[in-house]
Amino acid sequence: MTELAPSQSRHRKTAQRRTATTLRAYFPILLLVAICVVFSLMSGRFLTVTNLFLVLQQSAVLLVTALGMTFVIVAGSIDLSVGSTVALAALAAAMASNGLGVLAVVPAILAGILAGALNGVLVAWGKVPSFIVTLGAMVVYRGVVLLFTKGAPVSILDEGFLDVFGGDTLGIPNAAILSLGAALLCHIALTRSVFGREVKAIGGGERVAELTGIRVPQVKLAMFAVAGMLAGLAGALQAARTMAATSQLGEGLELDAIAAVVVGGTPLTGGVGGVGGTVLGALIITILSNGMNMIGVDPYLQNIAKGAILVIAVFLTIDREKIGVIK
Amino acid sequence: MASRRIAPVRLDAQSIVKRFGGTAALAGVPLTLEPGRVHALVGENGAGKSTLLKIAGGLFPPDSGRMTLGDMPYAPPSTAAARRQGVALVFQELTISPTLSVAENIFIDALRRFAGRTGLISRRRMEDAAAALLARLELDIDPATEAERLDLGQMKCVEICRGLAADPAIVLLDEATAFLNHRESRVVLDAMDRLRKLDLAVCLVSHHLDEVFAVADDVTVLKDGTFVGRYHKGDIGPSKLHELMVGRDLARDLFPPRSAPPATSPILRVERALLERDALPFDLTLGSGEILGFAGLKRAGGDQVMEALAGDTPLYSGAILLDGRKRTLASPADAWKAGISYLPGDRTGQGLITQFSVSDNIAMAARPSRSGFYLQSAADALARDAMTVLAIKAEGLTTPVEALSGGNMQKVLLGKCLAVRPRVLLLSNPTRGVDLGARQEIYVALRNAAASGCAIILLSEDLPELIGLSDRIAVFKGNTLTAVFDAAQSVAESDIIAKMT
């Protein structure tokens, strides 16, 4: 029996981990390309400029929501309330649009920030796990929407608002421009700002971050507020697309957003990952629906396919040395 | 349950050898345990005490050597097998499940014994059996109590009862009192006394010499994996015992020469500090350019003072003054902002994010930035400096810290603390698990930091390190400061130990 010296086994482990890291980095783009190849072989309408813009427009709400989720998951937390926050923000936009027009996006974003900040306070200072806080918040925020709408939709009639958030510029959907712009800003924030570095450090080791002088509660508050702000913007986009706020808007969106982040290669354990992967993840999830509709897959089978792809993606990319619980 | 007591028996081990990787943990060591006697294994960290105990308990086999139990050869393949032959090993770490009852904890690995025909467990029979075991140790604990309501000493006794559940002839205790305070330790030591009266052979590993003299009948001294000697309690005194344990000249040149005594001006002062309600208050002053050693047993007081200065856990009461001004250090962030760096003792759990790069870790405290943007080039410059000054061996700045050796990891951690140019540097066991070469480089770096005016507190379990590096040494015991030695280089280890224990 041969035993590896400690240093040898460490090197081997490191090499294995590097391979895993490389796979994690390229998996989302490979998956996206594979899906596109399959769909374009099966449908001539798939690989067209029209459909590309359609996909970008369809993915905008999911992408913007998933951007906020990226910060939260990189920090090792989770936010289940973003779907309800989207509905809350859409309602704020719809109610304000008749008076404020385009500026109705401001109350939508403020509603999102408020909802996110409330989560953040409870997680950071109340020391309640984010899973629980945001699970409760998901129900509460949805309840607030129901309370205001009594289940009836609130229509948006203001053309200005609908044009800016639902229209297009030079043929490109404004929702696509806004969501990709937001993605760029988030990418810079996560990789280049001190805030982004602190979020990563908290996800990498919360106790280490704390003992290194990072103000963990404040960073968590800011992070949840950012997630809420982006859900607020997503709410405005969603409201413009449906031309109304309803109490069902954004239902299940939190799970799609988590799926987009995870399929994009950001593990739930935190510390690593990025916005680029989330963009790919959101596109993968949108294109799966778009393509399956196009080639006429039974809608009931679509959910099974989407769920299976999520699990397979995580199965292939997860770093099993660091499996932890969702904080 | 019928009492099937195993007859008193002696355990004999001869020429036990055990190697881990390239190092010999034990190089031909004997051990004899006799019924009705408590035997203590003593020695410094790494002397091989725990290894010997674990071999006797069946946790792993020796590479060579011979053991007999009574007249029979004894080579247990597992702890369970050892237990069946009458040898019970109680681990150092507490393995009590706080939400289970005392009885459930005692019989955690033998719950089946109380299952009736239906497969359900009879609580009453289990608790009766537990009560019988607890009575053997004369412990006043209700077996139905939830374990979390016990203190640590009682928990340890419950673990001993778990060992007794198999009716052993021999009980092995690995640092049974390591995490206990004085009162809790007393409960465990009393329990050992009971075991002796029950005619069991008891073997304990302990760092606390006063415990050894309180409870042991015989002592085996180990040093660096070799057998130094076996003594009866009456034949040896604490100072002689300690000399045997250390038994080597201090490698003086391991430590850099002290510069001329620095003209220290006080930076940091702790006033009327109280670590718990009934402890004695004390004051402490730290000057610039000074290295102040903290000596004492685990959680004896030094750790708590350091955690308070690091902003992690506040003092029970008392004031912390920086430059004569009272400061509230409510979080580690406050401490870092005040110029106090903290190097925690748990390198990978509290000090470094090991999957992050060398550069990210070294710059994690300084976080160089301009208008909210992280300056990667400035961070890399800090990391390059640290790598040069501390001679960190890593492939590059982006190498993940987990790929480095323990000594280099520790240098990265020290680099992080020094990168903020601290006024006060708090070090908790900065060279634990670090090889000699890296150790020396760390000592030089610390001396240089002090020479440039940084005030350093060095908490260490390694007495030669404290003596070799400190200018003064503060000794803690029972949650208070018991002594401060000026001119640390001329203090004898035994003087410090006398104040620690």
Find all residues with CB under 8 Å of A98, minimum gap 6, and list them: A156, A157, A158
Contact call for A271 and B349, based on CB within 8 A: no
pTM of the model: 0.75
Span A19-42, average pLDDT: 82
Nearest CA in chain A to B413: A212
Contact at CB, B337 and A205, closer than 8 angstroms: no
A6 touches B: beta carbon within 8 Å: yes
Name the minimum distance, in Å, from the CA of B158 to any CA of chain A: 30
Q: Tell me which residue in A7, A14, A197 faces B367 most closely, judged by beta carbons.
A: A197
Written as six digits, the tokens of B275 are 């670590």
Locus of tokens 């490389």: A22
- Residue type, position B153, single letter: G
CB contact under 8 A, B349 and A322: no
Cross-chain residue pair A194–B369, CB shorter than 8 Å: yes
Calpha distance A84→A106 (Å, rounded): 18
Q: Provide the pLDDT for residue B118.
A: 85
- What number is the average pLDDT over the span B54-82? 91
In this structure, are residues B164 and B89 in contact, taking their beta carbons and an 8 Å threshold?
no
Non-local CB neighbours of B372 within 8 Å, separated by 6+ positions: A193, A194, A195
Structure tokens at A199: 């979020």
B461 vs B410, higher pLDDT: B410
A226 or A31, higher pLDDT: A226
* Mutation for A interface: B340, B341, B348, B353, most A CBs within 10 A: B353
Can you give the pLDDT at residue A307?
86
What's the pLDDT at B259?
66
Given a cut of 90, is residue B52 above it in pLDDT?
Answer: yes
- For the segment B359-373, the average pLDDT, to the nearest whole number, is 94
Calpha distance B227→B31 (Å, rounded): 9
Chain A residues touching residue B349 (CB < 8 angstroms): 205, 207-208
Q: How far is CA B34 from the centre of its chain?
A: 28
- Assign B3 a pLDDT band (cuts: 50, 70, 90): very low
The alpha carbons of chain B give a radius of gyration, in whole angstroms, of: 25
Mean pLDDT, chain A, whole residue set: 88
Distance of CA A49 to the CA centre of its chain: 25
Confidence of residue B425 (pLDDT cuts 50, 70, 90): very high
With CA atoms as reference, the chain B residue closest to A10 would be B403
pLDDT higher than 90, residue A128: yes
Whole-number Å distance between alpha carbons of B291 and A158: 71
**CB neighbour burial string for A236-254, b if at least 16 within 10 angstroms, e if fewer:** bbbbbbbebbbbebbeebb
pLDDT exceeds cutoff 70 at A3: no
Rounded mean pLDDT, B366-386: 94
Angle at A204 between CA B94 and CA A181, to 5 degrees: 155
Of the residues A212, A266, A272, the best mutation for testing chain B's interface (the one with the most B CB atoms within 10 Å of its CB) is A212
* Contact call for residues A105 and A160 (beta carbons, < 8 A): no
Q: Please name the member of B364, B369, B374 whose beta carbon is closest to the beta carbon of A212.
A: B364
Give the pLDDT score at B179. 64
Tell me: pLDDT of A141 over 90.
yes
Residue where the block lists tokens 């673990």: B159
Task: State the Cα torsion B192-B198-B200-B205 to the nearest 10°.
Answer: 0
**Structure confidence by residue, pLDDT tens digits, B162-185:** 888 888 999 999 888 766 766 778
What's the pLDDT band for B137 if we cut at 50, 70, 90? confident
Six token digits for residue A6? 């400690």
**What's the one-letter identity of residue B239?**
S
Please answer whether residues A26 and A277 qualify as being in contact, where contact means their C-beta atoms are separated by less than 8 angstroms.
Answer: no
Interchain proximity B373–A213, CB inside 8 Å: no
Q: Which of A162-171, A189-198, B316-325 has the lowest mean pLDDT?
A: A162-171
pLDDT tens-digit readout, A32-68: 999 899 999 988 888 888 889 989 999 999 999 999 9
- Work out the average pLDDT over B387-393: 91
CA–CA separation, B431 vs B453, rounded Å?
22
CB contact under 8 A, B367 and A11: no
What sign results for the dihedral spanned by CA atoms B174, B179, B182, B184?
A: negative
> Which residue ranges make up each domain of chain A?
48-317
> In terms of CA atoms, which chain B residue is nearest residue A12?
B403
A/B interface, count of CB pairs below 8 Å: 78
Angle of CA points B375, B378, B384, to nearest 5°: 140
Q: Across the interface, which of B351, B376, B405 has its CB nearest the CB of A7?
A: B405
Residues 255-294 of A with CB under 8 A from B: 271-272
Q: What number is the ipTM of this complex? A: 0.84
Residues A55 and A290: beta-carbon distance below 8 Å: yes
The mean per-residue pLDDT over the stretch B6-20 comes to 86
Q: Which of B19, B306, B336, B374 to mutate to test the interface with A (most CBs of A within 10 A)?
A: B374
Q: Among B336, B344, B374, whose Cβ lies nearest the Cβ of A193?
A: B374
Of B22, B352, B367, the CB nearest to A194: B367
Chain A residues within an 8 Å CB radius of B365 = 212-213
- What was the pLDDT predicted at A194? 95
The Cα–Cα gap between B358 and B412 comes to 7
- pLDDT for B218: 93
**Quick count: other Cβ atoms within 10 Å of Cβ B197?**
11
| Residues B151 and B172 sit within 8 Å (Cβ to Cβ) | no
- Chain B residues within 8 A (CB-CB) of chain A? 21-22, 310, 312, 331-333, 335-337, 342, 344, 349-353, 355-356, 360, 364-365, 367, 369, 372-374, 376, 400, 402-403, 405, 416
Find the Cα–Cα–Cα–Cα dihedral B437, B438, B443, B445, rounded to 10°.
Answer: 130
Nearest residue, CB atoms, B333 vs list A201, A215, A322: A215
Residues B202-231 have pLDDT tens digits of 999 887 777 888 889 999 998 878 898 999
B360 class by beta-carbon count within 10 Å (0-12 exposed, 13-18 middle, 19+ buried): buried
Percent of chain B beyond pLDDT 70?
Answer: 94
In angstroms, rounded to a whole number, what is the distance separating the alpha carbons of residues A86 and A60? 13
Q: Tens of pLDDT along B263-306? A: 668 899 999 999 988 889 999 999 998 999 999 887 889 999 99
Q: Contact B355/A322, CB-based, under 8 Å?
A: yes
CA atoms within 13 A on the CB side of B130: 27
The 10s digit of each residue's pLDDT in B397-406 is 999 998 887 7
Task: Give the pair of three-digit tokens for residue B349.
Answer: 């759990």
Q: What is the DSSP string of B55-113?
A: HHTTSS--SEEEEEETTEE---SSHHHHHHTTEEEE-SS----TTSBHHHHHTTT-GGG
Q: Is the confidence at residue A173, as pLDDT, over 80?
A: yes
Instruction: Tell me the CATH number for domain A48-317.
Output: 1.10.3470.10
Distances (CA, A) of B441 to A183, B81, B390, B414, B435: 46, 46, 7, 11, 10
pLDDT surpasses 90 at B253 = no
Q: Please name the member of A6, A208, A213 whose beta carbon is closest to the beta carbon of B351.
A: A208
Closest-CA distance, A202 to chain B, in angstroms, reads 9
So what's the pLDDT on residue B150?
87
B258: pLDDT confidence band, cut at 50, 70 and 90? confident
What sections of chain A are H helices per DSSP? 6-42, 49-74, 82-100, 105-124, 130-149, 159-166, 174-192, 194-204, 206-211, 216-242, 253-263, 275-294, 299-317
pLDDT for A9 beyond 70: no
Alpha-carbon distance of A111 to A233, in angstroms, equals 10
User: At residue A173, what is the residue type?
Assistant: P
> Which of A310-319, B295-304, B453-462 shows the lowest mean pLDDT across its residues?
A310-319
pLDDT in tens, B100-132: 999 999 998 888 888 888 888 888 999 999 999
Task: Give the closest-approach CA distance of A300 to chain B in angstroms.
Answer: 41
- Chain B: closest CA distance from residue A296 (Å): 45
Binary contact (B374, A7; C-beta < 8 A): no
Cα separation of A165 and A158, whole Å? 11
Mean pLDDT of B48-62: 90
Query: In this structure, are strands B226-232 and B64-69 parallel, antiparallel, or unpaired?
Result: unpaired
Contact call for residues B151 and B96 (beta carbons, < 8 A): no
For residue B109, the model assigns a pLDDT of 82
d(CA A302, CA A289): 7
User: Does the pLDDT of residue A326 top 60, yes or no?
Assistant: no
Tens digits of residue pLDDT in B20-34: 766 678 889 999 999
- Annotate B4-32 with b (16+ C-beta within 10 A) or e (fewer): eebebbbbbbeebbbeeeeebbbbebebb
- pLDDT at position A227 over 70: yes
Specify the 3-state DSSP secondary structure of B173: strand
For residue A196, give both structure tokens.
């982004």
Burial category of B285 from C-beta neighbours within 10 Å (exposed 0-12, middle 13-18, buried 19 and up): middle
- Min Cα–Cα distance to chain B from A205, Å: 6
Among B335, B356, B416, beta carbon nearest to A204: B356
Residue B314 pLDDT more than 80? yes
CB contacts, 8 Å: B364 with chain A: 201, 208-209, 212, 214
Has residue A324 got a pLDDT over 60?
no
pLDDT of residue B249: 43
Q: Cα separation of A203 and A319, whole Å? A: 14
> pLDDT confidence of A6, banded at 50, 70, 90?
very low
For the cut 70, the answer to whether the pLDDT of residue A24 exceeds it is: no
How many whole angstroms separate alpha carbon B44 and alpha carbon B465? 13
CA distances from B262 to A81, B267, B290, B418 (A): 59, 13, 7, 20
Q: Average pLDDT over chain B, rounded to whole?
A: 87
pLDDT band for A12, please (50, 70, 90 cuts).
low
* Residue B429 clears pLDDT 80, i.e. is over it: yes
